[in-house]
Amino acid sequence: MATAQRALDGHRQVWRDALGYLAEPQLRWLLIAPLLLNIAVFGGLSYLLWQWLVEALMALAANTTITLQSFSGGLLPTGWVDGLLDFLLGAAWLLFVLIVTTLYAFSFTLLAQLIGAPFYALLAERIVDRERGTAAHADRHWLAFIGAALWRELGKLLYLLPRALGILLLTLLLSLLPLVGIVAPLLLIGWMSWATALQYLDYAADGDGASFATLRYRAGQQRWSTLLFGAAALGCAALPLLNLVLLPLCVAAGSLYWCRRYPLVG
């Protein structure tokens, strides 16, 4: 119990310190610049997603009513049909929103990370240097820096996207099974938490010269702690509008987590 409490306290301290770093004037522009870019892109996308979700649920309600009436041959009283429909729609709403929200958070994270990769990589380097009291990262040509950051981000996408699609397909198949379907979204949430943790830990790991494979291995050695961090970051990414501000916070927290949980990679 005491060990678990210390672990939670350590995680909370990481997020508090990350907020402190982002409040510093010399780092604040690394929060504002990707924020403006992501507002332009994801403000419109989030609106379209919400419109699609509402229309999908309305269509589901209409089709379910027709199906129930047809199945019963009109023998079921309208009140029974309405009550059963309300129950089914409530369950479908919870499952549907849970899956869509998780997918939205993950896909938002992937795309926003690609857009803001150069800013986030620089933010991670600045925080790591400040945390360790060193200046290990020499100045580089900005084109080379941006190219390296985008290339690393694309490499992560090639690893994460196929696996995310596979987990999603498995979750959808399991959700069709009685009883098992109730807990099927937990599989998706667990994977998304793991993938999100890798996303935000990778900036500092890359700055230390660790490959993405090395990051996965070292994160796997502390899997439950990594999942806890990833779940918190995934929750930040799932908050509409607020996620635009919270993504740099996740980068800062991931950088501090990497510094404090792992020594320098040789």
**Which of 232, 231, 204 lies closest to 218, judged by CA?**
204
Higher-scoring residue by pLDDT: 14, 70? 14
> What is the per-residue pLDDT across 145-158, written as a single tens digit (0 to 9) for each?
777 778 888 888 88
Are the C-beta atoms of 247 and 109 separated by less than 8 Å? yes
Position 171 scores a pLDDT of: 84
Which residues constitute the domain of residue 220?
Answer: 15-39+102-261
Position 229 scores a pLDDT of: 92
> What is the per-residue pLDDT across 86-131, written as a single tens digit (0 to 9) for each?
666 666 667 766 776 666 666 666 677 778 888 888 899 889 888 8
Q: Residue with structure tokens 């870019």?
A: 37
Higher-scoring residue by pLDDT: 75, 24? 24
Are the C-beta atoms of 174 and 180 separated by less than 8 Å? yes
Position 84 scores a pLDDT of: 58
Question: Three-class SS of residue 176?
Answer: coil
Q: For the residues 229-245, what does the mean pLDDT come to?
A: 80
Share of the chain above pLDDT 70, in %: 70
Residue 97 inside a domain? The answer is no
Residue 64 inside a domain? The answer is no
Position 137 scores a pLDDT of: 56
- 68 pLDDT more than 50: no
Residue 53 inside a domain? The answer is no
Position 90 scores a pLDDT of: 64
- 76 pLDDT more than 50: no
For residue 247 the two structure tokens come to: 């993504």
Higher-scoring residue by pLDDT: 244, 123? 123
Residue 94 inside a domain? The answer is no
- 41 pLDDT more than 50: yes
Position 37 scores a pLDDT of: 80
Position 197 scores a pLDDT of: 93
Residue 70 inside a domain? The answer is no
Position 4 scores a pLDDT of: 64
Instruction: Report how many domains make up the chain.
Output: 1
Residue 194 inside a domain? The answer is yes
Position 254 scores a pLDDT of: 93
Share of the chain above pLDDT 90, in %: 13
Q: For the residues 137-150, what does the mean pLDDT come to?
A: 69
The C-alpha atoms of residue 264 and residue 244 are separated, in whole angstroms, by 30
Are the C-beta atoms of 156 and 198 separated by less than 8 Å? yes
> What is the per-residue pLDDT across 110-121, written as a single tens digit (0 to 9) for each?
677 778 888 888
Task: Give 44: exposed, middle or buried? Use CB within 10 Å, 0-12, 13-18, 19+.
Answer: exposed
Position 136 scores a pLDDT of: 57
CA separation (Å) from 32 to 29, 113, 175? 5, 14, 40
Higher-scoring residue by pLDDT: 135, 64? 135
- 209 pLDDT more than 60: yes
Residue 216 inside a domain? The answer is yes
Q: What is the mean pLDDT of the chain?
A: 77
**Which of 225, 242, 253, 232 lies closest to 189, judged by CA?**
232
Position 241 scores a pLDDT of: 66
Residue 79 inside a domain? The answer is no
The C-alpha atoms of residue 248 and residue 250 are separated, in whole angstroms, by 5
Q: Can you give the C-alpha Rg of the chain in angstroms?
A: 22
Q: How many residues does the chain have?
A: 266
The C-alpha atoms of residue 187 and residue 193 are separated, in whole angstroms, by 10
Most confident option among 66-70, 73-77, 135-139: 135-139
